[in-house]
Structure 1
Amino acid sequence: MTEAVSKKELRPYLDRFDGHRVLVVGDLMLDHYIWGNVQRISPEAPVPVVNVVRESVLLGGAGNVLHNILTLGGRGILCGVIGADEAGRWLSEELKSKGVEIGGIVVEEERPTTKKTRIVAHQQQVVRFDHEKKGEISNKTEKKFIQFINDQLDRIDCMVISDYAKGVITEGLLESILPLALRRGIPVIVDPKVHHFSLYKKVTVVTPNHLEASQASGVDIEDEATLHQAGKALLKKLGCRAVLITRGEQGMSLFDKSGETTHIPTEARQVFDVTGAGDTVVSTLALAVSAGAPLPAAARLANHAAGVVVGMVGTTAIEKAMLKKALS
């Protein structure tokens, strides 16, 4: 089913985003961009020589989810890990400057802050290199997270699990915090990684992309029939309320446990960069659900938001005014 919902019908939910509080639990990163231009190939090797014009540093990963929540008018709390390094200090100061409580940020001495450096020339990413150490957080850190999250549950409207498989999202953590949230009726929205799929049982919504949905369901998604098969398989596997499969230029498909399926065509007019689009989807979805939007309407708002950010280069948090303009 493709349900027609007008932009006018979506705007009241956007107006109710303000003040809703979302707890983001996940892998915090620093996104470092080096911007420049290319005019020649190196004589030393067949690679472009990038003439650097400027650099920028941004909140990435779970930090980008939180940033989107703030720029859309919500209030955010973050739970994640940093290293005892310059990148970690920058992230802490940046979060504090945005009025974010950092009581849920734990420093692990033996782990560097995850940092992704992208070199961009003429609106195209030339190369990316990562500084990171994957591996599960320590038992001590996990216990700190569980206590911190438990203390926040009476203050939040929604929880987002931002899983980049860097180590924050563990079986022990989810086994402890998901029942606590779900017993209180707090919606839980998950941006997943395939090898953790079995951990997301009973959540409200899981938002895999086309490839992740195919891999996690064991169904090669080649047409509408196999798309439906994959969506239904994931619903059954997880026992969640809904699965929202993001499908790039084909939009999104929402599978609800009620049996309803909603196909949403893409809103992207031009795609420059998909970096961070998944973060924008879960952020918008979380605030829309917090504002009382039914899931099909919440998914449509998220689709409009994603359509805006993929038209910009680099990790971008969508401003509320941008989304309002897209709905006008």
Structure 2
Amino acid sequence: MTRAKAEQFLKKFKDKKILVIGDIILDRYIFGKVSRISPEAPVPVVEVTEESYRLGGAANVANNIIALGGKAYVSGIIGKGFAGKIVKDLLEEKGIEVDYLFEDARKTTVKTRIIAGNQQIVRFDIEDTRRLQGKAKETFLSMIKNALIDFDAVIVSDYKKGVVFEELFRLLINHKKKNGNFVAVDPKIGHFRFYKHVSLITPNLAEASHGAEIEIKDEKTLIKAGFNLLKKLACDSVLITRGEEGMSLFEKKDSEVVVTHLPTVAKKVFDVTGAGDTVIATITLAHVAGADLVSAAKIANVAAGIVVGKVGTATATVEEILEILKTHPYA
């Protein structure tokens, strides 16, 4: 894939419309400096210098799509309190459509990270992980069903906070079978039984090991795990993200499985927060823009290499991807 070829796909991102369904998270960052230890307990005292809020979970996937020039709608649950209002304001500020946002009495998931000197000191979470039930569940499913016909692809961002359940996937897969839509999933341990017949699943090493029931410790077990996931889930493709080792794509092509290993392009790794969101957003956009999955994975690999070089939940842009492709071997 030449840089010129990649640019052809990237230019088409603006015409693509993606629905992101999943667990919406508000990422709160408290930045400060540490110069002393507390006299009350052997813990550092952080002198706060800055506080910021960023979109996380499914909202960060949508934010990545917007940063790449695509059109994103997000569907998930937020609470009716202060945190939910911040999420909604951030989504609208970024240009992410909120027509399919579901407001509920439950708490909005908030992850608070305290960072000093580019190092995370502690994280604490506020969340309600109960699955939707009763009338709320019926309303949510009805909303998704009405929305599906309008999108080039669907991404499910599963953080196991209550939005992803079996009936949702039954609806998505029935739609995929009838209309051929691309359905990509960023999975979570404990939910693999839901993901059968999807177009693409993007587990990290730990998730792939769990889903395939194989301990991945070398290339041989990695390949076995990829094959097992394809078979167990009857899905079309699997992209295993491997951190500093890059990523590996497993595709069904006719009666064969084709494996492609992609080395990492990251020069520096400051923070891996949200890197999986970037990968699934980019590979999905690139694929529906006309790239084959290998080319789409290469573009996603470059995007991931960009965001891990930034602190906190981050995104990559088309311009940044093209700049990397000037010198990277993909070009």
Distance, in Å, in 2 between the alignment partners of 1:38 and 1:324 is 38
Does residue 138 (structure 1) correspond to residue 150 (structure 2)? The answer is: no
Q: Does residue 39 in structure 1 map to residue 35 in structure 2? A: yes
Asked if the contact 2:172–2:183 (Cα under 8 Å) also holds between the matched residues in 1, the reply is no
Which residue is 1:315 aligned to? Answer: 313
1:184-216 CA-to-partner distances (Å, cap 9, x unmatched) read 111001000121111111111100001110111
Query: Which residue of the partner structure matches residue 45 of structure 2?
Result: 49
Structure-2 residue corresponding to 1:89 = 85
Out of 265, 271, 277, which is 2:275 matched to?
Answer: 277
Q: Distance in 2 between matches of 1:282 and 1:140?
A: 31
Distance in 2, matches of 1:260 and 1:243, equals 11
Question: How many residues end up aligned between the 2 structures?
Answer: 323
Counterpart contact for 1:146–1:177, Cα < 8 Å: no
Q: Tell me, in whole angstroms, the C-alpha distance in 1 between the residues paired with 2:21 and 2:228.
A: 26
Partner of 1:9: 5
1:120 aligns with: 115
Q: CA RMSD in A?
A: 1.2
Equivalent in the alignment of 1:148: 143
The one-letter amino acid of 1:299's match is A
1:243 lines up with 2:238 in the alignment: yes
Work out whether residues 278 and 315 of structure 2, in 8 Å CA contact, stay in contact via their aligned partners in 1: yes
Does 2:23 align with 1:27?
yes
Q: Which residue of 2 aligns with 1:288?
A: 286
**Distance in structure 2 (CA, Å) of the matches to 1:83 and 1:30:** 11
Equivalent residue letter for 1:295: L
**Shift of the alpha carbon at 1:136?**
0.2
1:171 to 145, 166, 171: 166
Quote the Cα distance in structure 1 between the aligned partners of 2:286 and 2:135. 34
- In the alignment, which of 161, 174, 197 is matched to residue 202 of structure 1? 197
Q: TM-score, normalised by structure 2?
A: 0.95
SS of aligned partner of 1:195 = coil
**1:44-101, CA deviations, whole angstroms, 9 ceiling, x for partnerless residues?**
2111111111011011110000000001000011110011110001111222233333
What is the letter of the counterpart of residue 220 of structure 2?
A
- Cα distance in structure 1, aligned partners of 2:317 and 2:66: 9
Q: Distance in 2 between matches of 1:50 and 1:98?
A: 30
State the distance in 2 between where 1:177 and 1:21 align: 16
Q: Do residues 260 (structure 1) and 258 (structure 2) align?
A: yes
Correspondence for 1:183 = 178
Name the structure 2 match of 1:79. 75
Tell me the TM-score normalized by structure 1: 0.95
1:13, distance to aligned residue in structure 2 (A): 1.3
* Shift in alpha-carbon separation, 1:75–1:253, aligned structure 2, 3 A: same
Pairwise CA distance, 1:8: 4.1
| Secondary structure at the counterpart of residue 18 of structure 1 | helix
Q: Is the 8 A contact 1:78 1:102 kept in 2?
A: yes
Selected match of 1:325 from 318, 323, 326: 323
1:303 and 2:298 equivalent? no
Q: Distance in 1 between matches of 2:99 and 2:13?
A: 24
Q: Secondary structure at the match of 2:315?
A: coil
- Whether the aligned pair in 2 keeps the contact of 1:142 and 1:173 (CA below 8 Å) is no
Query: 1:43 and 1:233, CA in 2 relative to 1: closer, same or farther beyond 3 A?
Result: same
What is the deviation of 1:145?
Answer: 2.5
Q: Is the 8 A contact 1:157 1:187 kept in 2?
A: yes
Which AA in structure 2 matches 1:66?
A: A
Contact 2:36 2:45 in 1 (8 A): yes
Match of 1:306, SS state, is helix
Could you tell me which amino acid in structure 2 is paired with residue 56 of structure 1? S
| Structure 2, unpaired ranges of 5+ | 327-331
